[in-house]
Structure 1
């Protein structure tokens, strides 16, 4: 027979012990309750009959502040202290003197074995995180206890009961479990671009812990704001709504009808929570998360916080997925656009070759056969046409070759080449252009130990592009070309003392069409393919190209190619050296035409960075005008400071100070405010013309132009100016600019550039002219057509303030977005206008856009908050709505030094 776990109760022989009045002493609340309890109704009888061992045990339990319980006898009569009373909740005080098996009937299945084992074997147990079902709060509760059961001995030394010490660890167990689940969800989401796959992975992670999330469903917004079910776990997807208007609507789902089991005891779930998946501050939700609530846990503050964290993780993952998808779509669109651009250039370049051939062929033949017999003016015009035709042909050839390289149709045909001699000859092609620019060109190409196998035409493009770039971006100092053998490689270095390249631009320097923003140069002409072509051609030789540069100090380009083995013995013919040089230096001065009129109308200052354009305009205007020339806006200001012209004819796009900067400087100086300015530009279209007139130009002529039209416009502008000598300041230029002093002439660096009949000293770029540090206000009609006018005025104002070009672009974009919102969203305006205030203060910019109506709620057809997101990407945005209008303020702090 199995031993009786309660062999004796110690009730037969009462031993001395604490007095009746002392058993429940100590002042505890439970002690007072047990002192008042009629123990004679229990199996252990009145207190007077209790053995000393029971009395001592009860006193020990009551004196402890740790949760403790004592059972005595075969009926498991209970004694417990105040701390234990808190653990059993509503079961107290009814559990006093009652059978433990009855009091904890719902949890006895988990307690019976350790209790009986301790009493039968006299060995204490230790059970951490024991799952126990309790009904202490009106529902079947999931609880966890760390508990130790030990035998309680009677006076006779036999086991008379059970003594247990326990502590509840439910909160810790549940918190750790929820933390693990949040981690699993985060890990499952990862960096996924497919939001539906992401939702499925999230639900898969939730399936690993159905205690806190018995079931879940992920809903995401589609093209509109409506929610669409995309993934579920723990429930039949068909039993839930397929779509919903908003998250709150999902909260009305009849959860009981789903019959979903939950919790550790399999009880049916009766409650669910619908949580919106936030898209971020000020953005529309990206979806909703419907989660079931465990039937064995109260929906308390901790449970709600867990739900919020879970929804936050899912929302962040969905937002990231959409951002990745958008970025991927953008990259694919850019790739398609890039391919379309490449195809376009290829097609156009092919189409240009035929007319170029028919132009250059007859001109070349005419000069070769009859050049000596032609009148000098005719010969000069044909030479000019030939030079520029050859430049155009070079650009077309570069485009076609680059397209061919990208398509994989071009390969290097290597021939054994004396690379030292070849490189020295190629560099020498640009020696004359470098010397005319006041630069020293040093070529150091000693003989190599053996011939190198390169494609001569490709090597020509590599060397000429690098040296021409050095001449273009170097204003003072020298250029050095060196060639050396380094093991099995040939190393070409082209160094200059030019303007240098910012570190941020270096990674993208060899990408096609990339240009360094606002970099001073002798000309802004070019396709942006030169360095990209160098990288591709060097790569076809199995080599590498790199650059080291520091702004203001200079740059060094290093090309490494292997000596290699020749593919053929026949070298392709090379183009004439003078043709190659002229095609690479369109800014180079040619002073052949300097005619003058016997009786000129007046003096015109021609400002253009293209030497051939200056020469052409000089020849065209000389019969009627005294012509002076300048290669950029800074040189023009220096010339104007010496002798004021009657008319200024300027190009718009020039290195250093461009046409608009020159115009602002002239208008800012009282001595030159009335000088008429005519602009020439390659930008066509009505908006470009409006921008010019809005900036205060007297006339505006797009290229190409008819010579007769240019002469007529110059004469008309000159005659109009003779009748007005009072300065007139255009409205688009800021008032502060009109008060700015004229820029002082600056000393030229070493070397001089002769322009027309005036010899001007070359000058480095100077600070922006007419910088305003004040407030400017405008008022526009509240209609969409006002936005272009705001864009032009704001760009002119910020450019005049000397702001960085990228910063100007961002601020103009943000301000126009705010103005567009003011036009579209303000309803019933008190005044049908939009007010714009621009404050400039030492580099800091504040733009305030105010409408005069009440803000209109967005609908599904509107921007859904993208405008606010766009503005916030560029500057600090605040919006102050009111009954009389809304003011949006865009703040761009002063950049860090």
Structure 2
């Protein structure tokens, strides 16, 4: 990569030497089979490729000549499940782990050891300045959702990545490499952008009554998303199939591809198949190089043609032509987005047509009433036959009005159902953290239990009690996080679970959480099917339902948890959106509480809606349960009677696979050392616990109650290898400032920040 090398800065060694000594991970049996198994650890694809690679033919040379920093970094890279890559040397030779392979696309596996500039030549102008910061100044970089046009599937693709470049120091103390942790956020960014377009269009169409107002709102809102909608054309069909241009965005009327009228044959856009009902959508290639490009530097290569289907009509009322983002594949998600836009527009056009028809009918009716009154005054002496005819006409008009009112009521019911569904799909972004003192308390209990376990080896009863207590501490920490971390939807980790055994294992936790005044009964049917579900999330959901039930019973009553097999047929699925008929595992939580009033039944799953007094609840429990079950492909149903109680049923899809073993992650034996550790912690119990644990592990331990005391210990000249400091402490000197001053005095000291309050981490 001549001419593209990045020189390492002279200050890099001093600025980036603060890192803890990394212990190499234990080798698996498979990892020990190939050459250099001590460097390329693990049995993943990338570990095997690295072991088989001819390193002697590369500028890096054979691994036995590599610096220890490079070896340790590669071990960390290969044992991590997070997307990571690293580069080494002046050519920034490219290393990456298994989790990073999807980002490379068809560049994998030839990317290994390739110079970064050659590998990512299409985005080199974006990443080179950031790599220069690392190599020349020894500083880390950070980018959130950065747009990168990657050439990884044979075409330039719009992608977004959140990543950080960090310097890697060689054995000489100079920056010789770069380490990158990355998360690809393309789906999130594109999805949020498209969802915003749908919301904007729905908002604009909400107040539009006439066809002209609907088209004006569409023209205004569709123009906002120039990434996914470089240009749009909306044509409305006439009775003979001719299509007239109703609105356009991103393209001038009169353009060769935007004629005012389209014939069924030989027009700029082939709409014949859509008009005749033979096609539900059409992808039309774009050959005109003068097409507008929207937010991009190149014009769309194709356009999607989607019919505008009216309510209860056989023929489409029109067609929407959408220029396709040239840097995104036109996949099912893109097609669904375009169809949703077309559906909103078609629904509003149909409603406007009905509204205008109602206005015309109302005018006709008013005219008829006026004529009737005039006829009654002028023809009071007409015979009975004429009176009968007038009466007949009046009844016909009354019937027409009655039908109109019924249609309006049905339409309002449908619109209310749609609004409810949209509310249920819009869960907000929520955040929270666990209180500092509570985590400190758990740390003290956990640390002392671990110390105690060393003195009771061989005493089975005592060891069992300590393990039970440690499990309770772990579950308490997990429960605190689950109850407060409602915010974003985290990726699920589903396992094949027998929900009956799962509920039985929760029995002790539920009884402790609900109190002695609540009688807990579990009813588990025989032959219970397995389901694919995230164990942590279903535990959180059941705990939420149980606590809600306890509050509804005012802390006293009977809680029943049932589990059984259920079959939801086609008729039931037809009455509920987003539900597939089939076999499900049903979990029901019933209480003997006050029940739910009918007028608020439709709102119980809405975020932040709560009937509890202020300060007694967040209103997020049921909405979290609803979102988790829906995300897992399931269904939620509520049955309630005021004064009698409530039953909430969760339907989870059945799977035929065997049940997974849900291992309780037990702590691995800790290995100690002989280094000197300075523990800085203001909480006396936490400090003494940490000191005792480190001393048990063989370390020489010094302690200080605040940052100023710790600085005095360092200034005393006593050797310190590791500074173990709390993040949040009282006093004028903050922990980051302590770390900086310590590094000035002891350049090689390692710093470990700890905190019981993750928001400050």
The TM-score with structure 2 as length reference comes to 0.44
**Structure having greater relative contact order (Cα 8 Å, sep ≥ 6):** 2
The TM-score with structure 1 as length reference comes to 0.37
